[in-house]
């Protein structure tokens, strides 16, 4: 999810690629670097922090090059430091690499290379990839072939750009699940991770397909597919304006981030959910610790708190282990009881939420082990936890959190599964849960296809004065999140609770014209939920339901139905069902003309208590 740029041609190459990554600044980054051809080889300039820092180095150096690549990094492996910034050299210093995404098997590859005498200067998976390419190059002496062979050894989702000292008129680039776009000029060619970086230079682009390898020279783009078969570059003309391009052609960052969820979940699971149906979280605690914990406390605010509620459902049903989910903003004021055998999980997208940070410090004082689930690498919460698992969801720009929530829920599920490997747990549930977690990206993809149907529902409910969000079990946890999305971006008052709670008070609010959105993704509680649906309808309310596609009963009781795939685990069905609720809030807000990415009174990172 970092920014990639590349150029070969008559212009001053470093100026071009630096400008290109500046145009990707909106995506968020924590360090940046460039590599460029010189008479002596390939020079690299890189620096942690803002692009200005790199700009200063470039200013001092005044490079005059006609081939260059640049990268803005959003850290995943290793903190945001000068050393970890890209580009990285191979062992011989003849190859330089920049890369987006994750190399899942970097650890094994790195260990094998170390045993052959390779030395690494950074903690990144990218440097390992550079060494693998370098090793292949040393063997074959052929630059392009070395990249081809190395890519076959790398596992993961990545986009990579490679330069070689001995072939100073070529840039080689490979796309493997992370986006890469080539830009075609006259006597010059470009590449970038995103279209906005190309638009000031060319509007003729080639979107690389999965597995494609491209070789860029000044006058030519050679392209081949994953099997190594040459193919003709399919040129398309882009006529979007730059602002639309930053949002990937979407109207808002929120919808862009909603649609990114299959990819962000894949990134979150990468290298953790293994082929043999086990979960590896080596960067956390010892097996003894995992066996020792006898209670889990989850601390978070807002959307992250709601992900914690889903986590509680997963932990308690799989492990029969007590879990408390507490508002971080309340924790230190409520005489918290923290013990040495507690595992305290702190969840935060930004890693900077002041209330969550304060709660973490109280938990540490109590002697518990603390585990962060954080999106922003190197943030305060990430640094202060005993261990941290990054959600790897990529930068989230919209104030309304969407892809961070599903990644947090997926990561909590991974933690529960990991714990289940070291203690008594229901085997059948484990199998079902892990199988459905693996399919979560596909389930979400299927939900995104319902977008048009959701637009039509949004048109019908957009002027309602009140929306209830209801469900039972894990659906009740998701109802909380569906409601938060609706109120924060569409400014419609909501009432969210477990469906069974309605008759204890909130039912008094149901009159003609109010809407109730029910999550009905758990067949064993379906009948009970249908009774709650009837209570709403009898009082003039309009009912929208989110159901499994195998459900033939609930649709008959509903005014509007949103179907999600049939999913055999209630926890995973519930996580999936948040996607239609995100879309519903988004479209209602859009139709009401709301300021979606920056809702009134709210900030992306809440650093005040």
In 456-601, beta strands by DSSP E: 467-471, 494-498, 515-520, 542-548, 560-564
Distance between CA atoms of 12 and 32, rounded to whole angstroms?
Answer: 19
110-126 CB burial, b ≥16 within 10 A, e <16:
bebbeeeebebebbbbb
Q: Which is nearer to ligand M6R, 74 or 89 (CB)?
A: 74
Which 217-236 positions form the footprint of ligand M6R (CB under 6 A)? none
Q: Which range of residues in 71-79, 125-133, 349-357, 360-368 is near ligand M6R by CB under 6 A?
A: 349-357
Q: How do the residues of the chain divide into helix, strand and coil, expressed in percent and rounded to 5?
A: 40, 20, 35
What value, to the nearest 5°, has the Cα angle with vertex 239 and ends 234 and 242?
Answer: 115
Cis bond before residue 397 (omega within 30° of 0) = no
Compute how many residues bind ligand M6R; rule: CB under 6 A. 17
The least distance separating ligand M6R from the CB of residue 470, rounded to whole angstroms, comes to 20
Q: Which range of residues in 81-89, 221-229, 545-553, 599-607 is near ligand M6R by CB under 6 A?
A: 599-607
Q: Which range of residues in 6-14, 187-195, 299-307, 317-325 is near ligand M6R by CB under 6 A?
A: 299-307
Residue 329 within binding range of ligand M6R, rule CB under 6 A: no
Radius of gyration of the chain (CA): 25
Which 384-403 positions form the footprint of ligand M6R (CB under 6 A)? 399-401
164 is catalytic: no
With CB under 6 A as the contact rule, the residue among 302, 308, 471, 541 that binds ligand M6R is 302
Residues forming beta bridges with residue 67, ordered by sequence position:
8
Residue 303 within binding range of ligand M6R, rule CB under 6 A: yes
The least distance separating ligand M6R from the CB of residue 380, rounded to whole angstroms, comes to 11
Distance between CA atoms of 547 and 554, rounded to whole angstroms?
Answer: 7
DSSP state of 505: T
Catalytic residue among 364, 429, 537, 604: 604
Question: Cα-flanking dihedrals φ and ψ of residue 132, to 5°?
Answer: -65, -45
Q: Which range of residues in 140-148, 337-345, 495-503, 600-608 is near ligand M6R by CB under 6 A?
A: 600-608
Residue 301 within binding range of ligand M6R, rule CB under 6 A: yes
Residue 350 within binding range of ligand M6R, rule CB under 6 A: yes
Kindly tell me the sign of the dihedral angle through the C-alpha atoms of 67, 27, 266, 390.
positive
β-pairing, 31-37 with 42-48?
antiparallel
Residues forming beta bridges with residue 467, ordered by sequence position:
494, 515
Q: Which is nearer to ligand M6R, 133 or 589 (CB)?
A: 589
Which 478-507 positions form the footprint of ligand M6R (CB under 6 A)? 484, 488
| 3-state SS track over 99-152 | EEEEECCHHHHHHHHHHCCCCCCCCCHHHHHHHHHHHHHHHHCCHHHHHHHHHH
Each residue 96-135 as x (binds ligand M6R by CB under 6 A) or -, in order, gives ----------------------------------------
Question: Cα-flanking dihedrals φ and ψ of residue 405, to 5°?
Answer: -60, -50
The least distance separating ligand M6R from the CB of residue 486, rounded to whole angstroms, comes to 11
Which 515-574 positions form the footprint of ligand M6R (CB under 6 A)? none
Q: Which is nearer to ligand M6R, 147 or 346 (CB)?
A: 346
The least distance separating ligand M6R from the CB of residue 488, rounded to whole angstroms, comes to 6
Residue 261 within binding range of ligand M6R, rule CB under 6 A: no
Contact 37, 96 (CB under 8 A): no
Instruction: Burial-class residue 520 by CB neighbours within 10 Å (0-12, 13-18, 19+).
Output: buried
Contact 467, 461 (CB under 8 A): yes
The least distance separating ligand M6R from the CB of residue 346, rounded to whole angstroms, comes to 9
The least distance separating ligand M6R from the CB of residue 225, rounded to whole angstroms, comes to 40
User: Which residues, 6+ apart, have CB-to-CB distance to 527 below 8 Å?
Assistant: none
2 is catalytic: yes
Q: Which range of residues in 228-236, 296-304, 310-318, 423-431 is near ligand M6R by CB under 6 A?
A: 296-304
The least distance separating ligand M6R from the CB of residue 401, rounded to whole angstroms, comes to 4
Residue 578 within binding range of ligand M6R, rule CB under 6 A: no
Distance between CA atoms of 104 and 61, rounded to whole angstroms?
Answer: 36
Distance between CA atoms of 608 and 352, rounded to whole angstroms?
Answer: 10
The least distance separating ligand M6R from the CB of residue 602, rounded to whole angstroms, comes to 6
Q: Which range of residues in 103-111, 343-351, 443-451, 561-569 is near ligand M6R by CB under 6 A?
A: 343-351
Q: Which is nearer to ligand M6R, 435 or 606 (CB)?
A: 606
Q: Which is nearer to ligand M6R, 353 or 370 (CB)?
A: 353
Distance between CA atoms of 65 and 8, rounded to whole angstroms?
Answer: 9
Nearest-CB residue to ligand M6R? 302
Residue 606 within binding range of ligand M6R, rule CB under 6 A: yes
The least distance separating ligand M6R from the CB of residue 379, rounded to whole angstroms, comes to 9
Task: Return residues touching ligand M6R (CB under 6 A).
Answer: 301-304, 348-350, 353, 356, 399-401, 484, 488, 602, 605-606
Catalytic residues: 2, 604
């Amino acid at each position: 999810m970092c920014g990639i740029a590349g150029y070969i041609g008559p212009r001053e190459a470093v100026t071009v690629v630096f400008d290109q990554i500046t145009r990707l600044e909106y995506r968020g980054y924590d360090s940046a670097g460039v590599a460029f051809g010189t008479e002596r080889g390939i020079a690299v300039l890189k620096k942690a922090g803002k692009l200005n820092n790199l700009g200063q180095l470039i200013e001092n150096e005044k490079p005059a090059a006609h081939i260059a690549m640049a990268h803005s990094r959003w850290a995943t492996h290793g903190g945001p430091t000068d050393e970890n910034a890209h580009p990285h050299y191979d062992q011989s210093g003849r190859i330089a690499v920049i890369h987006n995404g994750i190399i899942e098997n970097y650890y094994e590859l790195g260990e094998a290379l170390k045993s052959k005498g390779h030395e690494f200067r950074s903690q990144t998976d990218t440097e390992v990839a550079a060494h693998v390419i370098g090793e292949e190059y040393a063997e074959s002496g052929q630059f392009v072939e070395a990249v081809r062979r190395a890519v076959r050894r790398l596992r993961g989702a990545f986009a990579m750009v490679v330069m070689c000292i001995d072939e100073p008129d070529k840039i080689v680039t490979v796309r493997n699940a992370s986006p890469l776009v080539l830009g075609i000029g006259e006597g010059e060619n470009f590449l970038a991770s995103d279209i906005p970086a190309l638009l000031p230079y060319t509007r003729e682009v080639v979107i690389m397909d999965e597995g494609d390898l491209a070789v860029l020279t000044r006058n030519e783009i050679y392209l081949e597919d994953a099997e190594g078969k040459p193919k003709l570059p399919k040129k398309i003309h882009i006529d979007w304006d730059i602002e639309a391009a930053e949002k990937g052609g979407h109207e808002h960052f929120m919808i862009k981030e909603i649609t990114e969820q299959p990819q962000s979940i894949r990134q979150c699971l990468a290298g953790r959910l293994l082929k043999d149906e086990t979960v590896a979280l080596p960067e956390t605690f010892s097996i003894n610790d995992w066996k020792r914990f006898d209670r889990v406390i989850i601390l978070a605010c807002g959307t992250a708190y709601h992900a914690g509620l889903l986590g509680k459902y997963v932990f308690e049903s799989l492990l029969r282990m007590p879990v408390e989910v507490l508002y971080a903003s309340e924790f230190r004021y409520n005489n918290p009881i923290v013990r040495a055998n507690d595992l305290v999980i702190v969840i935060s997208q930004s890693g900077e939420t002041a209330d969550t940070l304060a709660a973490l410090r109280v938990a540490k004082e109590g002697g518990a082990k603390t585990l962060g689930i954080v999106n922003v690498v190197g943030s305060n919460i990430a640094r202060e936890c005993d261990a941290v698992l990054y959600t790897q969801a990529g930068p989230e720009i919209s104030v309304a959190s969407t892809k961070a929530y599903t990644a947090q829920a997926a990561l909590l599920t991974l933690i529960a599964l990991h714990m289940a490997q070291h203690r008594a747990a229901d085997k059948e549930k484990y199998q079902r849960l892990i199988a459905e977690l693996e399919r979560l990206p596909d389930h979400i993809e299927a939900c995104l296809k319902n977008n048009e149907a959701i637009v039509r529902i949004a048109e019908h409910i957009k002027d309602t004065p009140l929306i209830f969000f209801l469900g039972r079990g894990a659906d009740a946890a998701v109802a909380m999140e569906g409601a938060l999305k609706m109120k924060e971006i569409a400014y419609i008052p909501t009432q969210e609770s477990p469906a069974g709670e309605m008759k204890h008070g909130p039912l008094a609010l149901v009159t003609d014209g109010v809407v109730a959105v029910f999550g009905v993704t758990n067949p064993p509680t379906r009948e009970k939920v249908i009774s709650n649906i009837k209570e709403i309808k009898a009082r003039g309310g309009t009912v929208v339901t989110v159901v499994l596609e195998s459900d033939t009963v609930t649709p008959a009781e509903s005014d509007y139905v949103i179907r999600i795939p049939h999913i055999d685990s209630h926890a995973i069905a519930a996580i999936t069902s948040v996607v239609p609720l995100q879309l519903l809030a988004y479209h209602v807000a859009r139709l009401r003309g709301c300021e979606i990415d920056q809702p009134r009174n709210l900030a992306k990172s809440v650093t005040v208590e």
